[in-house]
Amino acid sequence: MKECKIDECHRDTIDELCIRHTAALTSLEQMFDAWKIAYGEKYSKTKYMEALLKDDNGVGIWVQEIIKFKLQED
């Protein structure tokens, strides 16, 4: 088995991410669609993730870790 790609996480996984971070990523992607409706189609995913980190809108720790990971990938 491999370890989750999130630095702070040491859970075993079959894919890149553990179950918790996979669920966080799915939630993050689903909510982006709602943000695009509210803010317009030109609203970028990067801007969305940065806004979530900046304002800490009740964002859970796993989502925060996913956002940091995704922003580092870009």
Please state the separation of Cα 44 from the chain's center in Å.
Answer: 14
What pLDDT sits at residue 40? 87
Q: What angle do helix axes 61-73 and 45-55 make, rounded to 10 degrees?
A: 140
**What residue spans define the domains of the chain?**
18-73
pTM over 0.85: no
**By the 8 A CB rule, do 35 and 71 touch?**
no
Q: Phi-psi category of 3—alpha, beta or left, where left has phi over 0 and alpha has psi -120 to 50?
A: beta
What pLDDT sits at residue 1? 77
In this prediction, residues 2-14 reach a mean pLDDT of 88
Mean pLDDT of the chain: 89
What pLDDT sits at residue 57? 65
In this prediction, residues 43-69 reach a mean pLDDT of 88
